[in-house]
Amino acid sequence: MPAVLRAVLILSVTLLAACGEPEDTRPGQPVKQRQQAFKDIIKSFEPMGVMLRKGSYDAERFEKFTAELVAKRDLPWSHFGPDTNYPPTKATAEVWSQPEAFAKEKQGFLIATDKLQAAVAGKDKGQISAAYETVHDSCKSCHKQFKAR
Ligand code: HEC
């Protein structure tokens, strides 16, 4: 394919990804709010993973991000009310059909973040790294069943 055509194609795919999502027009915008809450969570979570992977671990910065994560960890859940399964959500219908399983995943995430906080207080990098992975696993475990791809 000629380069120009390919560039146009890539551009239109990018634009589609940006504009293809319907706006959340419902009162209170529950879908948008919970998506924003997850985006805020990842903003504190991801930099810790970067530090661990790139060997740029800085105890003080890490501690700050952990505190942020703990401060934000309760924010998404109240926005998963009944009748809030509509576009642009990426949640699966199982969030509402299997509420116990969803609550269990959420609990696992909260416990994992408690352990991360405890590990950070203990200042042992090996334990901090392991605890970070456990939190990561809890995100992935919930997404596997409850977030559409
Ligand atoms: C108990 C289940 C659960 C846990 C735990 C969980 N998530 Fe999610 N996450 C979801 C669901 C459900 C959605 C889809 C929300 C929607 O679109 O309505 C989602 C969406 C997201 C999104 C996409 C937001 C957007 O629309 O752009 C990001 C990013 C994300 N989660 C990051 C994380 C990270 C990072 C963690 C762990 C630190 C985590 N999540 C833990 C269930 C979970």
Work out the pLDDT band at 71, boundaries 50, 70, 90. very high
pTM, two decimals, is 0.89
Compute, in angstroms, the gap from residue 51 CA to the centroid of ligand 1: 21
Compute, in angstroms, the gap from residue 67 CA to the centroid of ligand 1: 19
Which residue is associated with the tokens 């509509």? Answer: 86
Collect all residues with Cβ–Cβ distance below 8 Å to 78 and sequence separation of at least 6: none
Rg (CA), the chain: 18
The chain-wide mean pLDDT, for the chain, equals 92
Q: Does domain 29-146 have CATH number 3.40.718.10?
A: no
| Ligand 1 atom at shortest distance from the alpha carbon of 46 | 35
Tokens of 9: 């194609």
Compute, in angstroms, the gap from residue 28 CA to the centroid of ligand 1: 19
Taking the C-alpha atoms of residue 127 and residue 101, their distance in angstroms, rounded to an integer, is: 28
- 62-100: b or e for each residue (b if 16 or more CB lie within 10 Å)? bbebbebbbebbeebeebbeeebbeeebebbeebbeeee
Tokens of 80: 């998963």
Q: Which pLDDT value is given to residue 149?
A: 84
